[in-house]
Structure 1
Amino acid sequence: MAAFNRLTEATYEVHESVKVDTQDNEDHTFCGIMFPIKCKDLLPVDHISIRSVAVRGELGPLTVWVSKEKKQNNNNNNNNAATHVFRLKKSHWHKVYEAVHPPSPHEYKQLLLNEPIILKPGQVRALYIHSTLPNDRAIVYDNAAFYMPRRLIHFGHGHHQNNNNNQNNNNNNNNQDERKPRYEDPMIAIYSGRAHVSTAIFGQEPIWGWGNAWRDHREFVGQLHYGAVYQLWNPDRNVLTKFGPKFNEALFNLKLCQTRWESPISRLPDECIYYILNMCRWDWFQDTPNIMHQKRSQQRAKLKREEMERKRQKQADIEAAARLQDATKQEATTNNNKTDSGPIFDDAMEEEGAQQERAEQEHDDDDDDDDDVHSTQLVGEEGENNNGQEDEEAALRQAWIRRQFDRINVLRALARAQDDEDMEADDNDMDIVF
């Protein structure tokens, strides 16, 4: 039965085709441009497929390269790293286009790729367009100097130390500006990259023979043609969270109708309802990119509040544990002082007893009534001493019990703090920064 065999992604190769036009200030020309592209994780997209790219300039022998997908393992997800490093070596790149073109300085020339570039949600890959034409007018690109600093994506190694120093000098209030892309829509984001001033592919020697062959803060000028393959709805928690509130509201209403015997939908089993929703696109119930963005913002705000509350509780537990430790030490010091004063108190009692014995020997001739009164007084003093000893033992027991509870509370606080640190480490591993 088809209802039991729901697809997870659309069978259509491309649901939508989008042409990306970047700003063109006619700023610079040279041999090549390299820039990163990110597939945004906003809409329920299974992947996007970049089919072609368009550039202008003197052109000539052109090649288009894409960075190879980085190997992933369970312990390290490269797509979720804080920064993305693209090596400037041919072995780390895959060629997807090669052809010779006549000059086209004013109109974009479309380069239909030999194979599409696939990007999964959250994935970042770099595109490198280069011409071996022996002059500095091959490819038009733009200068991003007026928008610096905003790039935290590194190309190669050893050429971006100054960028790192500039980034360290920026305060946290500029993070939003640094994350601003060159171009973005609900599905992709294009960031600033590097211009190449060498006629050799991935060459490290510029056209004039000295200096650095790569120029930072340069931006792509042209067009991208890509298609989106949407993810299909399924009753899975990881899928449910990617669809909009109106889609989930439609699901809720269908389930309500299923519980009413007078509704024809009540005759349908769950599998049929799930199959119907599986065939519905994410925006068929009036969900829009703006609504999805609001949903994502609310989710991030909720996570931020939970994180702040967790940190506040962690700090409160640590302070409470410190107070309990101080109280325990103070009580232990007090009990030690009482224990140290014990021999002195015993010597005083012995001296007092000796004096009483001498007094009794001196008054052996007293009558029986005086002896009875004297004995009664001694018995009363001994009873008071016994009561004092019992109170002291009870206080020691209570102090010991308090110390045990203090130790338990301290251990609990430390365990909770360790759990929070582990959770923060996991979260930090899921953080992406541009």
Structure 2
Amino acid sequence: MPVYLDHAATTPVLPEAIEAYTRALTEVGNPSSIHSAGQFAKRALEDAREQLAGTLGCQGIEVVLVSGGTEAINLGIKGLYWAGARRGANRILVPEGEHHATLDTVEWLQSYEGAQVEWLPLDEQGFVRVGVLERALSREPHTVALLTFLWANNEVGSIQPAERMIALAAAAGVPVHVDAVSVFGHLQVDFTGMRRRTGSKAGAGLAALSVSAHKIGGPVGAGALVLSRDATIVPLIHGGGQQRQVRSGTQDVAAASAFAVAAVSADRDRVVEAERLTALRDRLIDGVRRAVPQAVLSGPEPGSDGSADARLASNAHFTFPGCEGDSLLFLLDAAGVEVSTGSACQAGIPEPSHVLRAMGRTEDEARGALRITLGRTSTEADVDAFLAALPAAYAQASRAGLAARESALGAR
């Protein structure tokens, strides 16, 4: 049985989520229909929505169910941008190193909708340079349509100072979209509390927050955009207007039910699981440093902010000098250990990590990356199996890398 250490890409579906999904599939009824079957489906859908709202710290009406994290991010960013453009705001503030769902969305708005994108630099640990954000917000804030950012980087695990960033935007009158896909199930998500603590109000501060089901043990193809009741947003999809005229389309009761079950489970076990995963992650980081002293940890050191962990408990990310990350991945896979080189959305594309490049790493350094991510099924035995397979894989990948470099030099 392979050792699976790529939970940030997707994590196994919980048995209880599968049960909820299949049970809902046996029921007939469109939740927009007014007959008995339709109303039964509507009750199941709204129960799921309320359960999700409870884990997200928001009201049920604020949970807009969508097809996954990518749609949620597109709806949050494009919808807020178009609303801002109507009042003459065309600037988007976005950190470098974001997930491609964000990068590609803002670049599309730049190419086709006249958006002016301002990239916020990252420091060497993957944190947004908040001083640069503050200066960007102070310069004609009325022209900023929105700020969007990852709460925690999906590759290197750096947890951003989200409330500080939101508070700065709120003070400047700028709406904010937060990509919380990486943190949901790992950190407490309290949408209403964050709005209150950061001084958010209509048109300023936290307006929208994106989450996905398959990162927490729910099904692929389900997600949500938490959208404040007072947010102004333009929809992506038009039709029946089933969800606040923001997202049209017949709602997937089965997916919503399974998503809710997974969210409740993740929220219930979040604190205990974070402690367990932190211990596993630290065991893994220490083991990599002993096995391959040349390896360089990407992102913050565990507990490096002096009071609490500044990186996700589930994330360990290293670069291995002289190696191609893909080579290491394939060698580890052959040894029965499954990891990744970065975001699953970019898997198979032989390009150095844009996140590491934004953090100041060279192209060669960025090519030698491995992301190891833990989840509910991860054990000490899994970590030990990875550490046992790593030295031989590194040695072989290093030899291959040296031979490739010598060949390249000889060809000049």
TM-score normalised per structure 2: 0.24
Bigger Rg, which one: 1
TM-score normalised per structure 1: 0.23
